[in-house]
């Protein structure tokens, strides 16, 4: 039988394991007809819709939004500088 090494387990593994346990307990309670989460379908729909909108808005404006010709020319210049920097030619 293999021994478990709990000392070297990283935090993300513990988080995934805990979330799996919560999901399994939630599923068991739902199968038994007990509603462990006090949410109705409308609240879940509103939360999912809001989350989708918020994440989309953050992603859309996190990146450089170049609509003008000057901004687009600057993007080309920036790409050239970054490419030369990676190759070691740019100082």
Question: What are the pLDDT digits (tens) for 33-60?
Answer: 887 777 788 898 999 999 999 999 988 8
pLDDT band at 65; cut points 50, 70, 90: confident
**Sign of torsion, CA 18 19 22 25?**
negative
End-to-end CA distance of the chain: 58
In the predicted structure, residue 66 carries a pLDDT above the cut 90: no
Report the distance separating Cα 58 and Cα 20, nearest Å. Answer: 28
Domain match, 19 and 50 both: no
Full-model pTM: 0.44
Domain match, 31 and 44 both: no
Task: List Cα–Cα distances, 43 to 38, 83, 90, in angstroms.
Answer: 10, 48, 54
Report the distance separating Cα 62 and Cα 44, nearest Å. Answer: 27
Domain match, 14 and 50 both: no
Domain match, 73 and 47 both: yes
Domain count, the chain: 2
């Amino acid at each position: 039988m293999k021994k478990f090494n709990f000392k070297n387990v990283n935090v993300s593994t513990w988080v995934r394991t805990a979330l799996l346990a919560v999901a399994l307990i939630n599923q068991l309670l739902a199968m038994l007809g007990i509603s462990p989460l006090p949410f109705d379908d409308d609240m879940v729909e509103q939360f999912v819709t809001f989350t989708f909108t918020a994440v989309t808005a953050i992603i859309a404006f996190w990146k450089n939004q170049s609509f003008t010709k000057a901004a687009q020319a600057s993007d080309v210049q920036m790409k050239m500088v970054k490419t030369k920097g990676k190759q070691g030619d740019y100082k």
